[in-house]
Amino acid sequence: PVETLAASPGATAPADFDGDGLTDVLEAVHGTDPWNVDSDGDGAWDALELALESDPNDVNDVPDSGAHAVALV
């Protein structure tokens, strides 16, 4: 599952340079590329892969959902 960070009132949102739903801190924790929504190039965004228990660093480990390149909003 994807970890979430609780923000204090008045705090700014953690940086997410690529906009894939993972903060840059979580990108570092998981070894993914903070400038690329799909670090392994398999068509599924990094946050989606982690949510579906797929490896966002392994092009051969694609989520079973069939939900590729979906924006998490």
pLDDT at 54: 94
CA distance 60 to 42: 7
Residue type, 71: A
Lookup: tokens for 3:
């970890």
Residue 7 reports pLDDT greater than 90: no
Q: How many Å apart are CA 12 and CA 1, to the nearest integer? A: 23
Inter-residue contact 37 to 20 (CB < 8 Å): yes
Measured CA to CA, the distance from residue 46 to residue 20 in angstroms comes to 7
Q: Model-level pTM? A: 0.70
